[in-house]
Structure 1
Amino acid sequence: MNTTTLTTTRQPEELTFKKWLLNIFRAVKTVSKGMGITLKYVYGVKPVTIEYPEVREILPENSRSRLFNDAENCISCYQCAVACPVDCIYITATKRDKDAPKLKASNGNPIRLDLHQYTIDTALCCYCGLCTTVCPTECLTHTTDYEFAQYTLDSMKYDYLAPDIRAWRDRIVK
């Protein structure tokens, strides 16, 4: 079996002074065109970044960030805990005494249980909003607070009956 391979070698073109100048002209033209586009975006477009934390981004009203429970209006119905797909809401309540004064939520629903614990583990929360839609008194809401990073997972559990978190009410509930 006789096989012949054809190999053709191409001879390099001779570089003349005219071709050398043409290569330099093309290189300068290409680089200046690219730099023109770059400079147009560097100096011609307004900056899109904000100077965080001095300037904070304004989130839309329907954004789902930190959860807040207005414990004063919570009737302890457990609907939010039942609706939560990841079980991150912990509620403990006991039945009120019959001789205790009658309490009502802001929308008129009677408060029949004493709330002892209302904790949300935001490390588990998936911010789906199911808990806020089933709340009959609308005391559980998503706020526009988005700065609540912590160093440990235990720090991401918020007890909404604690005095420091109840103080958020003045800022959030309007």
Structure 2
Amino acid sequence: MSEYFSNIKTGAVTIATGMGITLKHFFNAVKRKGDAGVDDADYFRQVDGLCTLQYPREVIPTPVNGRYRLHNNIEDCIGCGQCVRACPISCITMETIKVTNDDLAVCGKTSNGQQKKFWVPVFDIDVAKCMTCGICVSVCPTECLVHTPVSDFSEFDRQNMIYHFGNLTRMEAEAKRRKAAEQQAQAVKEKQAAAAKAAAENGGQQA
């Protein structure tokens, strides 16, 4: 019989303790923790207050060293392709077009002064496949490929998860391809002409 009443007492105490904790949080909820954000370093130190975030206006702070959605500063991209080769899941697609000699000034230089020698009409990142390993970022020689603090994103259409960073439109890319092909053909002709001239001169000397 004593055990029976003891169990009732234990249950009542447990319920009262739980309700006390619940009421404490209930009354503390009239206070706000404040807007959470990436720069709010003290967010997790706030114990009391309403903890529900008003998403998407408020977000959980992301660590400074966190690896999240990739971004390519195409103005600094030299089209070397190291990121494409390094990606273990092939989520980066890139196409390049060699810059003709008269277009070097138009193509420009990177922010550190390196001359760009390739147009990059296609630089696509499939973020739905990206596992944020950071290998592509570590091998990028111009540091144009970076992880951003954006960690919370979704789309209704799968194709919208592919981010495009190319620096030419489709029509511009076609024009640059034709121009590069013409320059290459002209270089081949000049090389063949020089070889023929050298052969003729050698033949004349032997005679």
Report the secondary structure of 1:131's partner residue: helix
In the aligned structure 2, how far is the partner of 1:160 from the partner of 1:132?
Answer: 15
1:124 matched to 2:108: no
Report deviation, 1:47: 3.2
In the alignment, structure 1 residue 147 sits paired with structure 2 residue 147? no
Deviation at 1:48, TM superposition (A): 3.1
Partners of 1:69 and 1:55 in 2: CA distance: 26
SS where residue 115 of structure 1 aligns?
Answer: strand
The answer to whether the aligner puts 1:157 opposite 2:162 as a matched pair is yes
1:29 and 1:119, CA in 2 relative to 1: closer, same or farther beyond 3 A?
closer
Identify the structure with the greater helix proportion: 2
Q: Quote how far apart the aligned CAs of 1:41 are.
A: 4.6
CA–CA distance in structure 1, aligned partners of residues 21 and 145 of structure 2: 51
Question: Normalized per residue, which structure has more strand?
Answer: 1
What is the alpha-carbon distance in structure 2 between the residues aligned to residue 30 and residue 123 of structure 1? Answer: 47
Q: Which runs of 5+ in 2 are unaligned?
A: 29-47, 169-207
Higher relative contact order (CA 8 A, sep 6+): 1
What is the CA-CA distance between 1:101 and the residue it aligns to? 3.0
TM-score using structure 2 length = 0.60
* Residue matched to 1:168: none
* Structure 2 partner of 1:67: 70
Q: 1:25 to 1:108 in 2, by over 3 A?
A: same
Give the letter for the 1:158 counterpart.
Y
Q: Percent identity?
A: 37
Could you say which structure has the larger radius of gyration?
Answer: 1
1:57 is aligned to 2:41 = no
Q: By how many angstroms is 1:31 displaced?
A: 3.3
Correspondence list, 1:1-174, <5 A: 26=9, 28-43=12-27, 45-102=48-105, 103-161=108-166
Q: CA offset at residue 155 of structure 1?
A: 1.6
Aligned residues between the structures: 145
Q: Whole-Å Cα distance in 1 between the matches of residues 12 and 156 of structure 2?
A: 53
CA contact (8 A) 2:68 2:150 kept: yes
Partner of 1:5: none
Aligned mates of 1:29, 1:135 — CA distance in 2 = 62
Partner of 2:177: none
Q: Which amino acid aligns with 2:125?
A: I
